[in-house]
Each structure stands twice: as C-alpha cells, then as structure tokens.
Structure 1
Amino acid sequence: MRASDIEADLTEVLCTEDEIHAKLGELARRIEADYEGRDLLLVGVLKGAIMVMADLARELERHVQTDWMAVSSYGAGTVSSGVVRILKDLDSDLSGRHVLIVEDIIDSGLTLSWLLSNLRTRGAASVEICALFRKPEALKVHVDVKYVGFDIPNKFVVGYGLDFAEKYRNLRDVGVLAPHVYS
C-alpha cells in the first residue's frame, strides 16, 4: 500500500520508501564497519520493527543472526504508557554476544530504556541500538542510540511497520496519521 492509496488518512508523508531504503543502506555500511570481525546478533522488536529488520538485514553484506523480542507499552492507544510488558522473549543466549537492537521508532524512550537495561543484564559483550525513526521532542528519558535513521516531529506516524490499532503497517511510506482517524 502506498500513501497515495490512503491520502485521506494522512496529513503528510514524512519519508518515502526510497528515502527509507537509502537510509538503511547508509546505516548498514556503518554497522558493517563497526562490527567488522565480530559476530552480530540483530534483535528486532516486534511488531513494528519487522520491515526495518528485514530490510536492514538484507542491506548488510555479511552474515548476521537474528532474533525477536516483543514488548509493549502502547496497547491500542497513541501514547506510550511507560509500563513495559514482555510478550515474547528471545530464543538466543546473549552471553558474550554483540547485540544490536533494531527498532522502528523511539518515542518516549521508556520502553527502549527498559529493554536496553534488560538485555545488558544477560551478559552480552555489547548492546547497541539502531532505530529508523526518533522523536527528539517526545523523549522522556535519555537513551544512547548508536544508529538513527531520521529524526522526526512529535506527531503520530504510521507506515513501514508503524501502526495504529494494527492498521497501516504495510504502508510503504511513513506519514502523519490524520487526527480524524484516531479521535
């Protein structure tokens, strides 16, 4: 689905599919250089990071392992509650591993801060973050993010894995959801 297919649901398009893929290519080159000679485990955060994780992994010109974790602080709302629940834990042992958390978006930072702390207690050699989008104005806690694709305004966005009530994840672009859709 493209933004032009749902124009009435969006107030603007922030990033096109082509811009997203170009940025993931840039991030992949940096990650390859930073992790040269080291095994890398990509940990995708479900469900939002599905598109980011898949496309980032395909951009990497090296072997990587992947695993998934599902945590939630949103429910069906549009604002993070800050209360984190593990819905699916990792299958991998992190002891001595270099872990790169792959996220779709950093909003308040509360969920990611909790996740970062949680994974670091599992004995990983290193834990870093790659987020395609970050909302600097929405941050409630500081989170060190090694790789950021785009800083975006503090607006409710959908597409490329980002959803509202499980809709819009398959939108190829990222756009601002019109208030009439969620009001």
Structure 2
Amino acid sequence: MNKYKIGRVLVNEEKTKETVERLGRQIYEDFKESNRELIIVGLLKGSFIFMADLVRAIDLPLTVDFITVSSYGNGTVSNSNVKLVMDLDTSIEDKDVIIVEDIVDTGRTFKKIIQMMSNRQPHTLKSCSFLSKPSRRVVEIEVDYIGVEIEDEFVVGYGMDYAQRYRNIPCVTVLEES
C-alpha cells in the first residue's frame, strides 16, 4: 500500500500558465539584444514539463540540453549526496546559458550544478526555477528567475515526483501521508 496520497492543490493550472508566460517574457527581455547562442539546460527529470512550456514562452532562437543529477532517491528529503547521472551533450563555452530546475529546496543540488556549469566558461549563466522554498535553504544561492515561492511542503505534479510517480499531474499538489 502506498504511504502517500495527493493532497491539496498548491499551484493550479491557470497560475502555472501565467507563471511560465511571465518567466518567458523576463528571459526574452534579458536576452533579446544578445548575439550569442542561448542554451536552456534542463535538470532532468523534474524540470522537463516546466522546461517544455518555458522554451515555448521564450520568443528567441535557442537550443536545449539536459543534465541529470540525483539527490532524493526514493525519499521525500534531499540529501547532501548529489550524484551526476548524465552530462551535457554540447559545450556551453562563451554562450548564454540558463539552467532550469523544477524546485530549489535546500539549494545544495542547484548550487553544485551552477558551480559545475560556471567552470565551463559560459558568457552568461543564469538560473531559473519554477518553485522555490526559501525557508529550506541550507546554502546561499541566488536564483535569477523564480516562478512561485512556496512553504516547506513536499510537492508533486507538473513534472515533480515522489519515487518517479505523480509527474503527470497538470498542477502542483502537496504530497500527504495516507
């Protein structure tokens, strides 16, 4: 028997769409004058739905790439052991790069990825997260584009999961114990 169930809706479909459109406009405004290649890098697996919507909301030429890391396993609490599972296929040197994450919680994973990407000498390196939990930060990290700030609750849906389940829910919901 599953020990968790879907709880209340935290970010509904309408707010999700409005948030993505706002972030797309902000990114467009920030990069419309750039003559460099814009690469949107998604952190798999959680960011894939958000990133798909986001790149459609950015009215600029761009390419996409992905990186996979693991810090949750099958639990509900991020641990400090960040494991690189899949790296980028392309070089980001001297390019405009935006790293896209589904949620920034403790900040450990996102900070490690930003440091790793920074060492590859992009011209600019920005970060974007659909959700942010500032009350959970254990490392200092600045996120350039934040969709929605939420309280300290474990959420699923819109690409986010628990043990690889619930990604297909079209909104963000709280995961509750059964």
Greater helix share, structure number: 1
* TM-score where L is the length of structure 2: 0.94
Q: Which residue of 1 is the match for residue 25 of structure 2?
A: 29
User: How big is each residue's C-alpha offset from its partner over 1:31-87, in whole Å with a ceiling of 9 and x where there is no partner?
Assistant: 001011323100000000000110000111121110000011111111111111111
* TM-score where L is the length of structure 1: 0.92
SS at 2:109's partner residue?
A: helix
> Does 2:139 align with 1:144?
no
How many pairs were matched up?
Answer: 173
- The AA in structure 1 aligned to 2:18 is A
Q: 2:39 aligns with which of 34, 41, 46?
A: 41
Q: Which residue of 2 is the match for residue 85 of structure 1?
A: 83
User: How big is each residue's C-alpha offset from its partner over 1:110-152, in whole Å with a ceiling of 9 and x where there is no partner?
Assistant: 0001000000001111111010000111111111111000000
> Does 2:13 align with 1:14?
no
- In structure 2, how many angstroms separate the alpha carbons of the residues matched to 1:37 and 1:93? 22
Seq. identity, %? 37
Mapping 1:73-152, distance limit 5 Å: 73-152=71-150
- In structure 2, how many angstroms separate the alpha carbons of the residues matched to 1:155 and 1:82? 19
Please state how far the C-alpha of 1:12 moved relative to its aligned partner: 1.3
- In structure 1, how many angstroms separate the alpha carbons of the residues matched to 2:63 and 2:5? 37
Runs of 5+ unmatched residues, structure 1:
1-7
Mapping 1:44-83, distance limit 5 Å: 44-83=42-81
- In structure 1, how many angstroms separate the alpha carbons of the residues matched to 2:142 and 2:135? 15
Structure 1 runs of 4+ aligned residues shifted over 3 Å read none
- The AA in structure 2 aligned to 1:51 is I
- The AA in structure 2 aligned to 1:177 is L
